[in-house]
């Protein structure tokens, strides 16, 4: 297994050869292999450790290795910036070339006089200086080097642009194609009365689950190989025609390869496949991300009723209260928004009002000392009783607004948003706590929620001024709300959102602008963080830390339910945050510098106010 690194910065280990990657030579992959060490870091040991995979399994992985995607030290490429730089260099090459010609002409004109005759020694010195200045070691050589660098940079920029499109298209094609095929079969089956008579929805659900697990486990790996190989091939900024042709052929052949796999698997014992799928799914909780991402195309195909009819066109209809409806859903956000419109409170069908009240006066607190300390602010919100339909022993959702004043008197704010407080079904009105599953659904659907409204009111009432920088902190649902607020242009016009810290939150689909620094912590074992069906974009402003928890940490304790929630535990996320505080990964160092003004420092003081938000009937008192 040769490690490669993809252009979005995710560190992976993938086979150098395989159904799709075999076209890439081992030598090329080996050449690129060194890049991987830059992005896997252990606490206090600096860069240079990686023994495992973000995508391929935990065999041999060291427990406390973080995988860092994106951020200031991330592996990203901006083709336009590269093309712009290439133009600058190209111009420099031309200018240097012209300088050489001009200088030769100037000296030649002087040489046409009696000067060489009357002062031959001086003329010799000039000739020597001229050769140095404009010859191969002078402007002539520099112009050539500059031109070559410009040309190579332009090619690299174009290759990155091309490859990103290639990988994206390949992923979309595979997910869409495979899920559409499964959905088509389901749709055709659903139209047969005997299927319903026999087992009804159970058959559909089982078939859907099997199809999606298969797509995720088999198809996802296939795409991963092609995508990572493409990314790896481009990591050095070069893509020769042979590599380009090989990659294109691999990508084009993916659907066929998938079909072959499907035939092979179908021919194999069904039980063996199911066992393998179950085993792999258990080992890779984040495969749920692929399952979720496959749902929209599967639904779209099922909606056609099978038989490969024309794809129905999907358009989003704007509804009151910021809701929208799109059928068939184009993506996970559409799907969640659609379900939320039908099922959750707060929207067009069942609007609610949110009431925010202060829970006592502001009290002095010790400023946070780091990322782990910031995340610890959410601990009281995640405790206070087991998560149940009735809520965490309270009918209101807490929001903490902390004012941080530095020695110079500058004010900054840390707003801590709560995780889900109740497991009541979205349509269940058993609690007035707005941090409910309906808010989760609306958040993933990128719709405004009672909690986003409550947060805005809490910030207003705390006295956050428009020009005072704000750091939003949220665990689980709190992370969704934080990212939603940061992604909302209307909110950013009222408050200076500067940074966002999320933990265990599915925020990959939310489009946070580049001037807001985002750090997202995700555990490989945390399926909650995968519910948006997408990786967060690995941009310079957006850093995602992935941590593979030790097995002992995710095993349920005596008497604990095996609900897969151990990976979502806030305590574990605080540990991960502590690793972030100790890491010397460039992205994490940059993050710490960004949030340093919100943390304890010489002369810095802090005070916090707690607000409580509750749902109220619209127009009620």
Q: Which residues bind another protein (CB under 8 A)?
A: 5, 7, 9, 32, 34-35, 38, 72-78, 80-82, 84-86, 88-89, 91-92, 95-96, 99, 102-103, 106-107, 109-119, 121-123, 125-126, 128-130, 132-133, 138-139, 141-142, 145-146, 149, 152-153, 156-157, 160, 235-238, 540
Evaluate whether 186 touches 298 at the Cβ level (below 8 Å). Answer: yes
Angle at which helices 120-134 and 139-190 cross, to 10°: 10
DSSP 388: B
Task: Give the residue from 426, 509, 428, 415 showing the smallest Cα distance to 454.
Answer: 415
C-alpha torsion sign, points 298, 191, 325, 527 = negative
* Helix (H), strand (E) at residue 469: strand 469-475
CA distance 65 to 524: 12
The answer for residues whose C-beta is within 8 angstroms of residue 437's C-beta and 6 or more apart is 344, 420, 422, 423, 424, 425, 426
Please calculate the CA angle 393-394-399 and round it to the nearest 5 degrees. 125
Task: Give the residue from 303, 277, 304 showing the smallest Cα distance to 291.
Answer: 277
Token pair of 106 as six digits = 């100037």
Evaluate whether 479 touches 498 at the Cβ level (below 8 Å). Answer: no
Residue 576, CA distances (Å) to 42, 375, 416, 525, 546 in order = 11, 10, 18, 13, 9
SS3 391: coil
Token pair of 458 as six digits = 């809490």
Token pair of 359 as six digits = 């829970």
| CB closer to another protein, 97 vs 176 | 97
The answer for residues whose C-beta is within 8 angstroms of residue 370's C-beta and 6 or more apart is 577, 578, 581, 592, 599
Task: Give the residue from 531, 539, 494 showing the smallest Cα distance to 512.
Answer: 539
* Radius of gyration of the chain, Cα coordinates, nearest whole angstrom: 29
Please report the beta strands in 375-460, taking only residues with DSSP state E, as ranges in sequence order: 397-405, 411-417
CA contacts within 13 A on the Cβ side of 37: 10
Q: What is the 3-state secondary structure (H, E, C) of 524-588?
A: CCCCHHHCCCCCCCCCCCEEEEEECCCHHHHCCCCCCCCCCCHHHCHHHHHHHHHHHHHCCCHHH
CA distance 619 to 291: 40
Residue 604, CA distances (Å) to 200, 496, 536, 599, 616 in order = 64, 20, 33, 8, 38
Token pair of 205 as six digits = 């659900």
Evaluate whether 9 touches 233 at the Cβ level (below 8 Å). Answer: no
Instruction: Write phi, then psi, for 416 (nearest 5 degrees).
Output: -105, 125
Token pair of 175 as six digits = 């997910």
């Amino acid at each position: 297994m040769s490690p490669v690194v993809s252009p979005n910065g995710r560190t992976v280990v993938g086979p150098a050869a395989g159904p799709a990657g075999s076209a890439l030579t081992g030598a090329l992959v080996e050449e690129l292999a060194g890049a991987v060490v830059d992005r896997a870091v252990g606490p206090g040991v600096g860069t240079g450790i990686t023994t495992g995979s973000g995508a391929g399994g935990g065999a041999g992985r060291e427990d406390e290795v973080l995988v860092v995607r994106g951020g200031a030290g991330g592996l990203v490429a901006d083709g336009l910036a590269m093309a712009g730089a290439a133009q600058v260099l190209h111009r420099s090459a031309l200018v240097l070339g012209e300088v050489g010609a001009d200088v030769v002409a100037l000296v030649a004109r002087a040489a046409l006089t009696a000067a060489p005759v009357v002062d031959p020694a001086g003329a010799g010195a000039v000739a020597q200086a001229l050769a140095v200045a404009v010859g191969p070691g002078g402007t002539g050589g520099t112009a050539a080097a500059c031109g070559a660098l410009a040309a190579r940079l332009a090619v690299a920029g174009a290759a990155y642009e091309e490859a990103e499109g290639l990988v994206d298209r390949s992923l979309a094609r595979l997910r869409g194609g495979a899920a559409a095929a499964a959905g088509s079969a389901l749709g055709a089956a659903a139209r047969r009365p005997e299927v319903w008579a026999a087992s009804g929805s159970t058959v559909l659900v089982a078939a859907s689950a099997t199809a999606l697990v298969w797509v995720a486990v088999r198809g996802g790996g296939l795409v991963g190989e092609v995508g990572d190989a493409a990314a790896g091939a481009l990591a050095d900024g070069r893509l020769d025609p042979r590599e380009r042709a090989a990659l294109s052929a691999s990508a084009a052949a993916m659907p066929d390869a998938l079909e072959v796999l499907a035939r092979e698997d179908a021919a194999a014992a069904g039980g063996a496949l199911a066992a393998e799928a179950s085993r792999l799914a258990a080992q890779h909780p984040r495969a749920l991300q692929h399952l979720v991402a496959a749902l929209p195309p599967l639904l779209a195909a099922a909606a056609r009723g099978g038989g490969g009819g024309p794809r129905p066109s999907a358009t989003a209809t704007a509804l009151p209260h910021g809701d929208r409806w799109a059928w068939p859903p184009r993506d996970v956000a559409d799907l969640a928004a659609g379900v939320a419109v039908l099922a959750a409170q707060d929207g067009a069908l069942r609007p609610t009002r949110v009431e925010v009240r202060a829970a006592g006066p502001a009290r002095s607190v010790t400023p946070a000392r780091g990322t782990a300390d910031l995340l610890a602010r959410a601990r009281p919100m995640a405790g206070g009783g087991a998560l149940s339909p009735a809520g965490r022993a309270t009918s209101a959702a807490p929001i903490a607004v902390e004012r941080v004043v530095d020695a110079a008197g500058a004010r900054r704010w840390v707003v801590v948003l709560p995780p889900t407080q109740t497991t009541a079904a979205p349509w269940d009105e058993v609690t007035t706590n707005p941090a409910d599953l309906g808010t989760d659904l609306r958040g993933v659907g990128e719709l405004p929620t009672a909690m986003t409204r409550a947060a805005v009111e809490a910030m207003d009432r705390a006295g956050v001024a428009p020009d005072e920088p704000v750091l939003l902190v949220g665990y689980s649902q709190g992370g969704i709300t934080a990212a939603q607020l940061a992604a909302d242009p209307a909110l950013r016009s009222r408050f200076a959102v500067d940074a966002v810290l999320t933990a265990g939150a599915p925020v990959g689909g939310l489009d946070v602008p580049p001037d807001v620094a985002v750090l997202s912590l995700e555990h490989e074992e945390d399926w909650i963080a995968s519910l948006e069906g997408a990786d967060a974009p690995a941009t310079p402003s957006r850093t995602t830390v992935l941590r593979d928890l030790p097995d002992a940490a995710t095993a349920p304790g005596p008497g604990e339910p095996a609900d897969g929630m151990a990976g979502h535990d806030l305590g574990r996320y605080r540990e991960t945050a502590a690793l972030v505080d100790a890491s010397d990964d460039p992205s994490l160092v940059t993050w710490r510098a960004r949030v340093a003004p919100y943390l304890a420092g010489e002369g810095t003081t802090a005070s916090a106010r707690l607000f409580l938000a509750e749902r109220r009937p619209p127009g009620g008192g």
